[in-house]
Structure 1
Amino acid sequence: MPDIDAVVFDVLGTLVDEPAGIRAGIRNLDPSLDDARVEQLLLVWQRHIDREQQRILGGDRPYLPSDVLEEEAARLIADAAGADDPAAVAALARSGRRLPPWPDTVAGLARLAERFPLIGLSNASRTALLGLNAHAGLRWHQALSAEEAQTYKPDPAVYQLAVTVSGRPPERLLMVAAHAWDLRGAQGLGLRTAYVARPIGDPPTSSDRFDWHADGLADLADQLEKA
């Protein structure tokens, strides 16, 4: 086995299909929307979350948990769709807690958990993380929210949460993500890295140097067993 004492997983996009869950929330808000319009509104959600997290990281806005940013995104979508039912808008805001796992996620986590302590590390709030873990059936030994650090990945303070909880040096932890930007952030603190390909995410560039590249969690488990 490689010299790894714990495996740290990104959640959104890496283990659960975030766009699928938000699409479902938008369709529930207004079932008459066609697919093209749903995709447009999904982009409104994604751009708002990304922009506001970047503003917080840049110091242009005080820290707010993901729940607040998602409530803002839901109101933007509701306004654009002409929906004014407060209960429906609130349900859309909570759609980030009802995200489907990728087909290999549950079995892959169970397999890796036989050999390593598993730590979830997500930009989702503590409350949202509890809900999506339960909905998707994610198995952890510890689940950590960036809310604990009052910032968002890729701020080093978020990865430090996993280092502190593990009680091990960063180089003994393996960060797994479908987002190259997330892995670069972990590398900055000294964690080892594994990129897992997903239909969505942020693929590595030619200049990225990650320790492992895997087609899925089964492939990652195979590689770690052979390492």
Structure 2
Amino acid sequence: MAEVRGVEVVVCDVLGTMVDEPGGLRTALREAVPGADEASVDRWLTVWQEHVEQEIRRVNAGERPYADSGVLDREAAERVAGHAGLTDADAVARLAGRFPVVGLSNASRATLLRLNEHAGLRWHQALSAEDARVYKPSPEVYRLALTAAGCPPERVLMVAAHAWDLRGARAVGMRTAYVGRPVGDPPTPTDAFDWAVDGLDELAAALTEG
């Protein structure tokens, strides 16, 4: 386990890390199509995720003008924000009692507003990739958090359930903590993140003890 010394600000991914985005989408699909079997729900979920991921790649490659996550969600014809499942709000509150905590998400500003209202997550600030006009893992998005933190990147900890997200944070000098999630993107053997924990409770205990 890495040393806590030097960490001044904690930055958390939102979709998939702090809220259960796929779980929320499954709920929305079941509500939209009563009686649908699980195989159909799985198939529709895959179609939605592949569309959003493809369009994010196109935006980051300059093949498409920036469109916020709400537009991408509507294009995929699914609802996410109103049904997102809360994950580990108590752990976020404990972290917020010790560090400034910033949410950093590919979600639009409007989506983050609804998520915060729905989930009651205790951010000190929530930042959207909409302000950078690209999506993570583009470095411009992480720099939003570094500007907000007002301290060197080595004193800012990025927390996410997605190894690709943490690689993007490391590329701009941030420290990194992987939080295991069933639907996350786990590290590969070549990844060397500062922390790797099973849940936010474990990370909060490591960062706030003493």
The whole-number CA distance in structure 1 between the counterparts of 2:60 and 2:72 is: 14
Letter in 2 for 1:23: R
CA contact (8 A) 1:13 1:200 kept: yes
Letter in 2 for 1:43: T
The whole-number CA distance in structure 1 between the counterparts of 2:121 and 2:37 is: 32
The residue that corresponds to 1:70 in the other structure is 73
Following TM superposition, by how much is the alpha carbon of 1:147 offset from its aligned partner in structure 2, in angstroms?
Answer: 0.3
Following TM superposition, by how much is the alpha carbon of 1:222 offset from its aligned partner in structure 2, in angstroms?
Answer: 2.1
For normalisation by structure 2, the TM-score amounts to 0.95
CA contact (8 A) 1:2 1:224 kept: no
CA deviations over 1:78-135 (Å, ceiling 9, x no partner): xxxxxxxxxxxxxx43x33430112xx1110011111100000000000001101111
Q: How much identity, in percent, do the aligned residues show? A: 57
The whole-number CA distance in structure 2 between the counterparts of 1:98 and 1:26 is: 10
Following TM superposition, by how much is the alpha carbon of 1:2 offset from its aligned partner in structure 2, in angstroms?
Answer: 1.7
Structure 2: which 5+ runs fail to align? none
The answer to whether 1:31 aligns with 2:34 is yes
Higher Cα radius of gyration:
1
CA contact (8 A) 2:95 2:207 kept: no
For normalisation by structure 1, the TM-score amounts to 0.88
Letter in 2 for 1:99: A
SS in structure 1 of the partner of residue 141 of structure 2: helix
Letter in 2 for 1:30: V
The answer to whether 1:98 aligns with 2:83 is yes
The residue that corresponds to 1:133 in the other structure is 116
CA deviations over 1:155-195 (Å, ceiling 9, x no partner): 00000001101111111100000000000000000000000
CA contact (8 A) 1:119 1:143 kept: yes
Aligned-residue RMSD, C-alpha: 1.2
The residue that corresponds to 1:160 in the other structure is 143
Which of 163, 173, 182 is the matching residue for 2:165?
Answer: 182
The residue that corresponds to 2:186 in the other structure is 203
Letter in 2 for 1:24: T
The whole-number CA distance in structure 2 between the counterparts of 1:98 and 1:163 is: 30
Following TM superposition, by how much is the alpha carbon of 1:225 offset from its aligned partner in structure 2, in angstroms?
Answer: 3.7
The whole-number CA distance in structure 2 between the counterparts of 1:73 and 1:131 is: 19
CA contact (8 A) 1:175 1:192 kept: yes
The whole-number CA distance in structure 2 between the counterparts of 1:184 and 1:31 is: 40
The answer to whether 1:48 aligns with 2:33 is no
The whole-number CA distance in structure 2 between the counterparts of 1:209 and 1:225 is: 22
Following TM superposition, by how much is the alpha carbon of 1:226 offset from its aligned partner in structure 2, in angstroms?
Answer: 5.2
The whole-number CA distance in structure 2 between the counterparts of 1:145 and 1:3 is: 25
The whole-number CA distance in structure 2 between the counterparts of 1:3 and 1:15 is: 24
Which of 143, 149, 157 is the matching residue for 2:126?
Answer: 143
CA deviations over 1:27-64 (Å, ceiling 9, x no partner): 12111211111111011100000011011111111110
Structure 1 or 2: more helix by fraction: 1
The whole-number CA distance in structure 2 between the counterparts of 1:38 and 1:45 is: 11
